[in-house]
Amino acid sequence: MELPENIKSLHSEEEFLRAKALELMAQDQRFTLHLAVVEQAMNLGDLLRKFPTSDEDLKVVQVLGMRVFNAFGAGLKLALSGYMQNSVLVMRDILETVFLIDLFRGDRAQIARWRAADRKTLRDEFSPASVRKTLDIREGQTTKRREQLYKLFSELAGHPTMKSDWMMRPEKDGDAVIGPFMEKTALEAVLSEMGRLAVQSGEHLSAFFPKEWEAAIEPRQGFARAANDWMAAFYTKA
């Protein structure tokens, strides 16, 4: 089947923007750090699925790790092709999944409860808002940072709001555009959030690897190095 000319033209533009994105990233070490930690987090998601187990709870985490892997791949593909807003929408999915994995990491009995939950239990105990609230209570957090970040992703990309057109502007005070575009500041902002999510997801997934599984030692160390490099670059001690 021959693709319509407009579809082929759009794909050509996406590939052109991807090349432009790679040029921009080659000029700035920060992009290397973002991509490195994303890659290492994806490696953990890929490796965890390969661990042979009959434990139904661990199988749940394996599938969630696979979901995170796919979402990082899709989010990166979209960002490098110029679809910044759509990439952020995918990252909201990662954020929600990471919160759930974090919940399970802190209380593994919740995995079995989630697996068998009816609709009411899912709504009352495992909705995104409920999971965020449980995590905040567990950690004694009162700033509601999780809620603020989730709402920001929702406003910028998840819902059609007055703020959502910000993600469609190549220039801050310029007009919204249709189709993909490439601009360094926007790309760096998206990839930096992706790097932040990669640090979190890799940390939580790493906790589920059986300690005796030798195949996981080097990949976990590789993630730890990438995460430490990322944290050292973007988080300074007060």
Which residues make Cβ contacts (< 8 Å) with residue 172, sequence separation at least 6? Answer: none
5 inside domain: no
Question: What percent of the chain has a predicted confidence (pLDDT) above 90?
Answer: 81
Domain count, the chain: 1
1 inside domain: no
Predicted pLDDT at 236: 64
Average pLDDT on 153-164 reads: 85
Comparing 8-22, 93-107, 119-133, 155-169, the range with the smallest average pLDDT is: 155-169
- Tokens 């802190």 label which residue? 106
43 inside domain: yes
Comparing 67-71, 143-147, 194-198, the range with the smallest average pLDDT is: 143-147
Contact 183, 190 (CB under 8 A): no
Q: Is the pLDDT of residue 61 over 90?
A: yes
Predicted pLDDT at 186: 93
Contact 104, 110 (CB under 8 A): yes
The first and second tokens of residue 190, run together, are: 């998206």
2 inside domain: no
Comparing 121-125, 167-171, 214-218, the range with the smallest average pLDDT is: 167-171
Angle of the 145-153 helix axis to the 128-139 helix axis, nearest 10: 150
d(CA 179, CA 14): 9
100 inside domain: yes
Average pLDDT on 55-62 reads: 97
4 inside domain: no
d(CA 62, CA 176): 40
Which residues make Cβ contacts (< 8 Å) with residue 99, sequence separation at least 6? Answer: 128, 131, 132, 135, 146
- The angle at the Cα of 169, spanning 83 to 194, to the nearest 5 degrees, equals 45
pLDDT digits (tens, 9 = 90+) for 68-100: 999 999 999 999 999 999 999 999 999 999 999
Predicted pLDDT at 104: 97
3 inside domain: no
Average pLDDT on 22-36 reads: 95
For residue 30, give its domain range.
11-234
The average confidence (pLDDT) of the chain is 93
121 inside domain: yes
Average pLDDT on 111-122 reads: 96
Q: Is the pLDDT of residue 110 over 60?
A: yes
Q: Is the pLDDT of residue 2 over 90?
A: no
Q: Is the pLDDT of residue 157 over 90?
A: no
Average pLDDT on 116-141 reads: 94
